[in-house]
Amino acid sequence: MTDRKRNCAFGTAFGMRGLLGFLRGQHGGVLTWGALLMVPLIGFMGIGVDAARGYLVRARISQALDAAALAAGRQTADLQKAEQIAKTVFNANFPSGYMDASLAGPNITFNTDKDTVTASASAVLPAYFVRIVGYDTFTVAASTEVTRKTVFMDVVVSIDVSGSMGEYIGGVKKIDAASTAARTLVETLFGTSETKDLLKMGLVTWNSNARILDIGATYDSGEATQKTVPSYDDPTTPATTTSTTLWFAKDSPVPFFTLPPSGWKGCAEARFLNDGNDSNDADLLISMGNVGGKDWVGWKWADSTLQCPNQGIRRLTNTRSQMIAAVDQVQNPGGNTNLGMGLLWGWSLLGTSGSPFAGDGTTPPAAGEGELVRAIVIMTDGANTQHSQDAYKGALSPSQLDDRTKIVAQRIKDAGVVIYGIQFGYKSGPQEALMKEVASGPGAPYYQYAPDAAALKDAFKEIGNHLSKLRISK
């Protein structure tokens, strides 16, 4: 009994002292301050959560805008279509209702003078935690700008106008499809601008030869001019014929050994002697001078019995309408096919050093001042054919013409020129292999097969997009 009473008394005494200590203590203030501080602490935590949501939404908008602006930049020839494509791409990358965001945009604007596409959008998000400090919603926004850039660029379009181009494919005449497709390339590179300071384009048409007069021009022997040059021996004559004169058709820089007569169609013979010694031939060169002991300082004009296209060339120009007018005149096909002629005169038309058209091309910029891209876009619907009326007067077989085509293509590529090859409506194993070897690469965009007119247009458009340099500038 005594022990039990002692324990009860101890408990009672301890309880009284604990109660009095609690009443006299100040430790309860911690709980009070903790309760007061909990309100802003929860607010800051809520702001952090909502801020993270805003960051994620803004990042998603930025990514979608980048994709949209780049897609629009590839379609600047048709601004309405470009805007539609941009919005479609944006919506694919920013799904409706993402994180409960209410979207405004995208807004797509074009500056044709500066070649820029600007895309912007904003989104209103409901506030989940920030409402306790008085905000029901908050807004995030983003914008991006794409500069469509062509750097310094010289591009020659080389179109096969042989007789088979007069045939129909899918209800469309091949030559008309080629003209339309080439126009697409012009519009892609120029956009809506009439002139481009950094872009030049040219055109050459060919069958088994190439007409070197301006497209639409006629020849008048009375308007031809002559130039005195150092003495040379004409390699196209069987006997030694020394001369100091070269002849030029009006507005043409291509020199001839003798004056082309009235009625001349505008073509030249291949600089080929057919003597079994390729080392003294200049048919695969655009430069003028001594080759293997022969003075190839000019060309021999082709007489009226040889094939010659009706069209001609468009020398390099930085004016959109001039190039459009040229491709619109690609009509009336005829004759056979010599792919090498299309490559050789396309290369010459680029106006590189040594070419008759030297000076037409862009001077390579100094280091650090930009890049110069030179390109030939060559389209054909057939294979090399041998004919007594071609530029070689029937001296070379189709396989020999193929070999020379490969050689000139490699020389062009070695000179730093990009070759895009399009095979249109005709696909055979040997021809496909040849075209892939001619092009700068065996696959798109360098080599493409176009089975019909729509595919041909797409091929030219893809080449234009590949040539166009796009970068995100802001």
Q: Given 149, 164, 187, which residue is the final one in a domain? A: 149
Same domain, 265 and 385: yes
Q: Is the predicted pLDDT of residue 418 greater than 80, yes or no?
A: yes
Q: How far is CA 119 from CA 76, 78, 192, 400, 440, in A?
A: 14, 17, 19, 54, 35
Among the residues of 94-162, which ranges form H helices? none
For 440-460, the pLDDT digits (tens) are 999 999 999 999 999 999 999
Among the residues of 198-338, which ranges form H helices? 320-328
Same domain, 201 and 264: yes
For 88-119, the pLDDT digits (tens) are 999 999 998 898 899 999 999 988 776 788 99
Among the residues of 163-286, which ranges form H helices? 174-190
Phi/psi-derived region of residue 251, left when phi > 0, alpha when psi is between -120 and 50, beta in every other case: left
CATH code for the domain in which residue 399 is found: 3.40.50.410
228 in any annotated domain: no
Q: Is the predicted pLDDT of residue 5 greater than 90, yes or no?
A: no
Q: What band does 19 get if pLDDT is binned at 50, 70 and 90? A: very low
356-374 mean pLDDT: 87
Domain span at residue 117?
28-149
241 in any annotated domain: no
Question: Would you list the DSSP string of 60-106?
Answer: HHHHHHHHHHHHHHTTTTSHHHHHHHHHHHHHHHS-TTGGG-EEEEE
d(CA 270, CA 458): 34
Residue 471: per-residue pLDDT: 46
224 in any annotated domain: no
In the block, tokens 């073509």 appear at 267
Specify the amino acid at residue 170.
Answer: G
Relative to beta strand 289-291, strand 294-296 is antiparallel
Residue 133: per-residue pLDDT: 62
CB 297 within 8 A of CB 289: yes
Residue 251: per-residue pLDDT: 94
Same domain, 137 and 160: no
Specify the amino acid at residue 155.
Answer: V
Q: What band does 297 get if pLDDT is binned at 50, 70 and 90? A: very high
For 313-322, the pLDDT digits (tens) are 999 999 999 9
20 in any annotated domain: no
Q: What band does 73 get if pLDDT is binned at 50, 70 and 90? A: confident
Q: Given 149, 170, 187, which residue is the final one in a domain? A: 149
Q: Given 95, 119, 149, which residue is the final one in a domain? A: 149
Same domain, 265 and 136: no
Q: Is the predicted pLDDT of residue 394 greater than 80, yes or no?
A: yes
Structure pTM? 0.75
255 in any annotated domain: yes
Q: Is the predicted pLDDT of residue 420 greater than 90, yes or no?
A: yes
Residue 135: per-residue pLDDT: 75
State the average pLDDT for the chain: 88
Same domain, 133 and 182: no
Same domain, 194 and 338: yes
Same domain, 48 and 138: yes
5 in any annotated domain: no
Same domain, 183 and 49: no
175-192 mean pLDDT: 94
Same domain, 285 and 432: yes
Same domain, 167 and 109: no
For 214-261, the pLDDT digits (tens) are 998 999 999 999 999 999 999 999 888 899 999 999 999 999 999 999
Token digits of residue 8: 């009860």
Residue 82: per-residue pLDDT: 84
Domain count, the chain: 2
Residue 332: per-residue pLDDT: 94
Residue 23: per-residue pLDDT: 46
| Chain centre to alpha carbon of residue 413 | 17
For 319-340, the pLDDT digits (tens) are 999 999 999 999 999 999 999 9
Residue 151: per-residue pLDDT: 78
6 in any annotated domain: no
Least confident range from 128-142, 208-222, 272-286: namely: 128-142
185-204 mean pLDDT: 92
Q: What band does 365 get if pLDDT is binned at 50, 70 and 90? A: confident
Q: Is the predicted pLDDT of residue 172 greater than 60, yes or no?
A: yes
d(CA 131, CA 272): 87
Q: How far is CA 376 from CA 150, 158, 464, in A?
A: 15, 7, 12
Q: What band does 468 get if pLDDT is binned at 50, 70 and 90? A: confident
Residue 77: per-residue pLDDT: 60
Q: What percent of the chain has pLDDT over 90?
A: 68
Q: What band does 13 get if pLDDT is binned at 50, 70 and 90? A: very low
In the block, tokens 């994180």 appear at 99
427 in any annotated domain: yes
Q: Is the predicted pLDDT of residue 46 greater than 70, yes or no?
A: no
Q: Is the predicted pLDDT of residue 160 greater than 70, yes or no?
A: yes
CB 354 within 8 A of CB 360: no
d(CA 237, CA 234): 6
End-to-end C-alpha distance for the chain, whole angstroms? 92
Question: Would you list the DSSP string of 300-345?
Answer: PBP-TTS---SS-EEEEESBHHHHHHHHHT-----S---HHHHHHH
Nearest to 210 by CA among 156, 150, 139: 156
Same domain, 156 and 131: no
Q: What band does 71 get if pLDDT is binned at 50, 70 and 90? A: confident
Same domain, 112 and 88: yes
